[in-house]
Amino acid sequence: MPSQAADQRGEPLEALCADLAANRHLIVASNRGPLSFSESPDGHPDAVSLAAGDLSHLQELIQLTWVSAAVSGSDRAVAQQAAGGLVTTGMPHGWNARFVSTPRRVYHRFYNTICNPLLWFLHHRSWGFTHTPNIDREAHNAWSQGMVPVSRAFADEIVAEAQRVGRPVAVMIRDYHMHLVGGMIRESLPDAVIQYTLDVPWPGPSDWMMLPAAWRSEIYRSLLACDVIGFKSQRDMRNFVAGVLEFAPGCSYESDDDVLTVNDGRNVLLRSYPPAPDPDALHAASDAHRTLAFQKQIHEPGIHTLVTAERAEPHKNIVRGIRAYGAMIARNREFAAKTRYILALAPPPPHLAQYRRYVKEIEQAVREVNGQHGRRDHRPVELIMENNYSMALAAMRAADTLVAIPLADAECPTAFSMPLINTQNASMILSETSSAAEVFGVAAKVVSPADVEEIANLMEHSARTTTQGRSTQFRTLESVALGLSQHNVVAMQMRDLLGLRHQLELADQSSV
């Protein structure tokens, strides 16, 4: 059955796509695209369709070319064999793929030295600035011999696609791997409409000062070459403006319209595109037999269940949540038997030492709380560390309180999903540094991510509130979540692209 959110699609996305397609060819650029290849048993590449995210709503509505990195050997083989560089196998009807194939050592520097461990940690405030990061010669080489050439290869592939179609283009760039690509595209395609949408938080100027000044300057210069920059929250947008005023002198900002005017006189629109789940897919997975079976295992009548369902990464701030729960039990001994804290955690990528250390810290914190307050027949903290989406959904369904207190998180998917599937009128404890706090703050409990004492207080308050007592606030959380729609968010992005296209047409007419 379609969800309520799906039924409330009032945005004319079909008309927006038709309008854009009549005048421009759409190109999407991201590090990973909706298509990858693996080697079949007979040695031939097999297409593997990946998630297209919110842009899946553009399928059947507009033709586009998706430019992404050739990561596997099969990707590279397909890219070399593709006629004219275009791949259609495995893509939705009317969509093409182009793979950016760079030498493995170059891509390794780009992804495994700059993007993944350095930029990701910066965006998520995960560095301990007293000791890390250390931008050494290896990092500088990775920037000049990895980040820059891979970005240039992406821009060259996009320019080649624009030349192939022989008409104006609109380019949608996705996420933080592409920080340098917009500026490089602008050099070759001055009339392109370029939109850059970020799925990570944007740090304030002091955090960016941890990067070399030249890197920082290149990143901001590239973003300011775009026409629209989309963030997940107003806070991220404000942080970006503060960085522009700090690092790009001569730019001005009009807060009423959220428009930056850069040195060459161009306007850059700043927009907030809030996170939104896919309610139909969410409900299908949540109502599946496997998920419901897990929920029966988890649910214990009479026990207040707190849940954190996240990936076990440092920015998720899981250890502080465990310590807060332990503090709550220490001052309310009866809660050792009347509550429990379920951690449904997906293991992080194992190749980073910081991730491995953080998993050990989580495990140690769990042992300490259970050792102090557990009994032979009851462990207050239940740690489930496995890639098990059904288990995470079951935990969210069964939760009496969802705890999501990241240091910084632009997506915060569990906070946006829980109100749509929960069966217990759950309350939410959110960190004020997450995008979810901006959206759900009217009905959620919002706290500093470092304030362990206040997190413990909020846990105690939730544990003392009955299911009926939580119903009014939960209905508000549910109403807010139902009002969000990936379909509408994509329509907002398309409308901004169209607005820019119309502005360009008017400018061309006035210059005649």
pLDDT tens for the chain, 512 residues long, are 333 333 334 448 999 999 999 999 999 999 999 988 888 787 778 888 777 889 999 999 999 999 999 998 899 988 888 877 899 888 999 999 999 999 999 999 999 999 998 999 999 999 988 889 999 999 999 999 999 999 999 999 999 999 999 999 999 999 999 999 999 999 999 999 999 999 999 999 999 999 999 999 999 999 999 999 999 999 999 999 999 999 998 899 999 999 999 988 899 999 999 999 889 999 999 999 999 999 999 999 999 999 999 999 999 999 999 999 999 999 999 999 999 999 999 999 888 888 999 999 999 999 999 999 998 888 999 999 999 999 999 999 999 999 999 999 999 999 999 999 999 999 999 999 999 999 999 999 999 999 999 999 999 999 999 999 999 999 999 999 999 989 999 999 999 998 876 665 555 555 54
Contact call for residues 68 and 38 (beta carbons, < 8 A):
no
Q: Judge whether 7 lies within some domain.
A: no
Whether 437 and 505 map to the same domain: the answer is no
Whether 146 and 212 map to the same domain: the answer is yes
Domain of residue 229, residue span: 19-275+487-511
Q: How many structural domains compose the chain? A: 2
Whether 138 and 184 map to the same domain: the answer is yes
Q: Judge whether 6 lies within some domain.
A: no
Residue type at 443 in one-letter notation = A
Whether 491 and 480 map to the same domain: the answer is no
Q: Judge whether 127 lies within some domain.
A: yes
Whether 157 and 68 map to the same domain: the answer is yes
Q: Judge whether 449 lies within some domain.
A: yes
Contact call for residues 420 and 279 (beta carbons, < 8 A):
yes
Map 472-487 to HEC letters: HHHHHHHHHHHCCCHH
Q: Token match 């553009």: residue? A: 58
Cα(226)–Cα(183) distance, rounded to whole angstroms?
Answer: 7
Q: Is 49 helix (H, G, I), strand (E, B) or coil?
A: strand
Whether 206 and 330 map to the same domain: the answer is no
Whether 123 and 243 map to the same domain: the answer is yes
Whether 227 and 285 map to the same domain: the answer is no
Cα 121 to Cα 115, 314, 411, 462, distances in angstroms: 9, 9, 15, 32
The secondary element (H helix, E strand) that includes residue 310 is strand 304-311
Q: Judge whether 1 lies within some domain.
A: no
Q: Judge whether 375 lies within some domain.
A: yes
Q: Is 134 helix (H, G, I), strand (E, B) or coil?
A: coil
The angle subtended at Cα 124 by Cα 312 and Cα 460, nearest 5°, is: 60
Contact call for residues 233 and 272 (beta carbons, < 8 A):
yes
Q: Give the CATH number, domain containing residue 491.
A: 3.40.50.2000
Whether 139 and 171 map to the same domain: the answer is yes
Q: Token match 């259970």: residue? A: 370
Whether 183 and 61 map to the same domain: the answer is yes
Cα(363)–Cα(377) distance, rounded to whole angstroms?
Answer: 20
Whether 480 and 502 map to the same domain: the answer is no
Query: The tokens of 221 are what?
Result: 């210069």
Q: Judge whether 439 lies within some domain.
A: yes
Task: Give the DSSP letter string of 232-291.
Answer: SSHHHHHHHHHHHHHHSTT-EEETTTTEEE-TTS-EEEEEE------HHHHHHHHTSHHH
Cα 14 to Cα 19, 21, 97, 254, distances in angstroms: 9, 11, 22, 31
The answer to whether the predicted template modeling score (pTM) of the entire model surpasses 0.75 is: yes
Q: Judge whether 265 lies within some domain.
A: yes
Cα(196)–Cα(194) distance, rounded to whole angstroms?
Answer: 7
